[in-house]
Amino acid sequence: MKASAPGKLFLVGEYAVLEGGPALLTPVKQRAKVTIEAANKSQVISLTTTVEKHSLDSALQHYPLLQATMAELDCLEQLQNAQLTIDTSSFFHRGIKLGLGSSAALTVALVNLFQPDSTPSELFAKAFRCHLAFQNGMGSGADIALAAMDETIVFQRGESPIPMGLPDDLFMLAIWSGEPASTVGYVAAVNQWRQHNPDTYLGHISDLSNTASECITALEKKDSQRVLTIIEQYDRHLERLSSASGANFYNQAHLKMRKKVELTHCAYKPSGAGGGDYGIAYSTNKQELLRLADKLEREQIDTFIL
């Protein structure tokens, strides 16, 4: 049996989603893949930048996500006399892990493998429980919802994810900053600042939440030009939160990339709460975006079309 699930990028909603605001996420081409087949012994094979083979007991010790998922699903018996292969190699580039939600994608893929009759909403609920156990209760669940739905969604805590179609004239280019970053570390830094500045923090979150809602409304109306304007507004709100909190998740790599992108008449913002990793360029002109992609590729900056 086989199963897979995609990674994700945030279009808008970073930080806002942690406080109940809306977020918009889209799947990426990178997928976590899992297979299980009968074998003479229980074995787990992990494919990342190398191939690692483990006995079942060893794998459960080495991979806390696998252990948490198997415990939540109560399906360890299915791994007896079976070979489980876990392939997240597409989430690595030149030996560096890309910030595209590989753990959420893998969680959903595992749940789908062991409980294939789950509906998307059931898949999300089960995988969310598994991922929370793995992350000690941290996370909004947005990346799990995206992986479970496998399409662009609007996500808000406590509500079912809603599929969202994107306008035909909205084009997006994912751009890797080349600097992996710790989302957990940045979020922790913002939360520490929040404890001493609760009112200021809530003001920033209100700006982000309201702007994300406006972006979703513009998308529903297929108003791509309005979407680009709002994306730029969200970008500035993120930059202000980054600066005010002292977390500086809006790092120099993104500031430099924004200048490059804006010179080509495209909009830009980082994707995700963790600084580093990826930003996204947006345009209503496909040729402009393709020219930008060519320019960045010549500079040896990795990109892919969303």
CATH assignment of the domain containing 121:
3.30.230.10
Q: Where in the sequence is the domain holding 253, given as residue range(s)?
A: 171-305
Answer with the one of 140, 163, 186 that is the final residue of a domain: 163
The answer on 249 and 115 residing in a single domain is: no
In this predicted structure, what is the pLDDT of residue 139? 76
The answer on 275 and 185 residing in a single domain is: yes
List strand residue ranges (DSSP E) for 198-306, in order: 267-270, 278-283, 303-305
> In this structure, is the dihedral angle defined by the CA atoms of residues 130, 55, 6 and 239, taken in order, positive or negative?
positive
The answer on 271 and 195 residing in a single domain is: yes
The answer on 153 and 7 residing in a single domain is: yes
The answer on 209 and 293 residing in a single domain is: yes
| β partners of residue 84 | 36, 44
- For 151, counting Cβ atoms within 10 Å of its Cβ (0-12 exposed, 13-18 middle, 19+ buried), the class is middle
Q: How many residues does the chain have?
A: 306
The answer on 79 and 28 residing in a single domain is: yes
Two structure tokens written together for 130: 């598994």
Q: What is the pLDDT of residues 78-123, one digit of tens each?
A: 888 999 999 999 999 888 888 899 999 999 999 999 999 999 999 9
Enclosing H/E stretch for 67: helix 64-73
Answer with the one of 163, 188, 216 that is the final residue of a domain: 163
- How many structural domains is the chain composed of? 2
Enclosing H/E stretch for 184: helix 183-196
> In this structure, is the dihedral angle defined by the CA atoms of residues 35, 97, 280 and 65, taken in order, positive or negative?
positive
Q: What is the pLDDT of residues 202-241, one digit of tens each?
A: 999 999 999 999 999 999 999 999 999 999 999 999 999 9
Between CA 109 and CA 69 the distance in angstroms is: 11
